[in-house]
Chains A and B, each alone.
Chain A
């Protein structure tokens, strides 16, 4: 049965497991950014322990998301072909020439897909470099080995880790800004409650591209 016939008037967008993943990832990422960058702003505290523990939480969350997206979700929802990207750009530019466009995206807009793609690369870069750097400090689970990688490699690790984190600062600012935009608030609600209304589904998404089961 199509969502159009949903008597409750709601379309499921994010399942509970995916919402939990999002908010755990958000919390871990914010803790990582604050513990990583506050010392730069002269806020001194024992940031290393909180930083690496949050890093492991983020790593576990991303591993969970990878398994879930490969096994239980449609990868095609989070992919955009050039034709789709061009159609979205044309639709965005249409108002500039006083025209309207009938284009509607599937489950995710092209902007969301590209943002996710960039965010995934950056997060994975920080995780991989962070995990290697982790070997350089002691923890209850392992002994440090500062010579695990060469000096030169360690230099690259720090640069990649730091620059990826810096770009993530800008991206997360934009992400939070868009989450509070009036026309995007229904995305935020769906990330909290899981659903969007039937009307939002029909108005802002193409049911031909996003066929979702009943809530």
Chain B
């Protein structure tokens, strides 16, 4: 492992190479609440926030397009 990674591994003996080091950092064993929130769902958690962003963007785009059409229909300017 690269030196900096090894340094981080020093924090937790349970950390392993690759993605697990990051997973273990988030899943730090020392905090029960934090462990409950983040343990085992890191990939899902990141995906959840990305999907939330996509849903908000698409939702806003649809509402904005609907309002724009409505304005045009009512004789508003472009």
Contacts and interface: CB of A to CB of B under 8 A. Distances in A.
Q: Taking chain A's interface residues, is the majority helix, strand, or loop, or is none over half, making it mixed?
A: helix
B69 to A, nearest CB: 11
Interface in A18-44: 36-37, 39-44
A37 B45 CA distance: 11
B62 interface: no
Q: Taking chain B's interface residues, is the majority helix, strand, or loop, or is none over half, making it mixed?
A: helix
Interface in B22-70: 22-23, 25-26, 28-31, 33-35, 37-38, 42-43, 45-46, 49-50, 52-54, 56-57, 60-61, 64, 67, 70
A169 B52 CA distance: 10
B37 to A, nearest CB: 6
B45 A95 contact: no
18 contacts: A39-B19, A39-B22, A40-B43, A41-B43, A42-B18, A137-B4, A155-B28, A155-B30, A155-B35, A156-B31, A158-B31, A159-B26, A163-B37, A166-B49, A169-B46, A173-B56, A177-B61, A181-B64
